[in-house]
Amino acid sequence: MGAAARAEELKVLLSRQKIARRVRALGAQITADYRGRPLHVIGILKGSWVFMADLLRHLDLDVTVDFLGFASYGLGTASSGEIRITKDLDASIEGLEVLIVEDILDTGRTFNHLERFLAAHRPKSLKVSTLLDKPTRRIVPVRADYVGFEIPDVFVVGYGLDFGHRYRNLPDIRIVQP
Q: Which residues bind Mg ion (CB under 5 A)?
A: 47
Nearest approach, Cβ of 162 to Mg ion (angstroms)? 9
The separation between the first and the last C-alpha atoms of the chain, rounded to the nearest angstrom, is 7
Q: What is the DSSP string of 68-91?
A: EEEE---SSSS-----EEEE--SS
Rounded to an integer, what distance in angstroms lies between the CA atom of residue 99 and that of residue 148? 15
Nearest approach, Cβ of 125 to ligand IMP (angstroms)? 22
Count of chain residues binding ligand IMP (CB under 6 A)? 17
From the list Mg ion, ligand IMP, none, partner contacted by residue 117 (C-beta under 5 to 8 A by kind): none
Neighbours of 25 (CB within 10 A): 13
Which of 49, 117, 149, 155 is close enough to bind ligand IMP by CB under 6 A? 155
Catalytic residue among 54, 103, 106, 162: 106
Active-site residue 60, yes or no?
A: no
Q: Which residues are identified as catalytic? A: 106
